[in-house]
Amino acid sequence: MSLSSAEDATDAALIGAYRAGSERAAAELVGRHATALGRFLYAAGAGPSDVDDFIQEAFFRAFRRLDGWRGDASFRSWLFTIAGNLLKDDFRRRKGRRVLSIEDGDVVAASDPDGDLVAADTEQRLRAALSGLPRLQREVFLLRAQQGIEYADIATALGTTPGAARVHYHHAVRKLKEICNA
């Protein structure tokens, strides 16, 4: 697979090329999804210094289990589900979570001179609040709100229905609002 064709190819085509032996296709898939995956992992509670390792492990497992990906869910949502499992196992091993609250009006205006600091603080509190949610609610919220993945796709990746995914999202939003208003 040539450089330009790899960049233009769909995920499914890249996976097909990788299965046929193209490492270039695999590298393109990593480059295409690694940043979003890193942000997802970080938002879901991974430590900044651990994110790279989680990304590497998630891609490694995904490529090894490609036979399990049948193309009914997008590669991205399937990959993120693998990453979610990694994070869940890590949480289980560490068994420690820190939960902070989000205060109302935390969205920062671009003109705010202290915006960066406040934004960083808000990020931390959202991450902490998310870590207090049940896993499905946390993942559905992040896949939907942060990654913009459709409910149908999320549902396929998580092995549930679009309706149930929507319910998980709204439960997550409700709980996060409660924390906001606490």
Partner 1 sequence: MPECTALSDRMPAVAAGTDAWSALDLDHLAACSDCRTEWSLVQIAVCVGQGLPVPRDPAAVAGRVMGRLAAARTEQARARRSTWWAAGLAAAAIAAVVWTGRPAPSPESSVAGRVVESAAAGATSAALVPELDSLDAGELREVLDAFDAPLSERVIIGSPTLGDLSDQELERVLRAGGV
Q: Which part of the chain contacts partner 1 (CB under 8 A), choosing from 7-15, 80-88, 142-150, 156-164?
A: 142-150
| Shortest distance in whole angstroms from residue 9 CB to partner 1 | 16
* Nearest-angstrom CA–CA distance, 34 and 56: 9
Write the CB contacts of 77 (distance below 8 Å, at least 6 apart in sequence).
143, 147, 149, 153, 154, 156, 157
DSSP code per residue over 98-132 = ----PPTT-PPPTT-TTHHHHHHHHHHHHHHHHHT
Nearer to partner 1, 95 or 133 (CB): 133
Binders of partner 1 among residues 48 to 77 (CB under 8 A) are 48, 51-52, 55-56, 59-60, 63-64
Which residues are near partner 1 by CB under 8 A?
23, 26-27, 30-31, 34-35, 38-43, 48, 51-52, 55-56, 59-60, 63-64, 102, 104-107, 116, 119-120, 122-123, 126-127, 141-142, 144-148, 170, 173, 176-177, 180-181
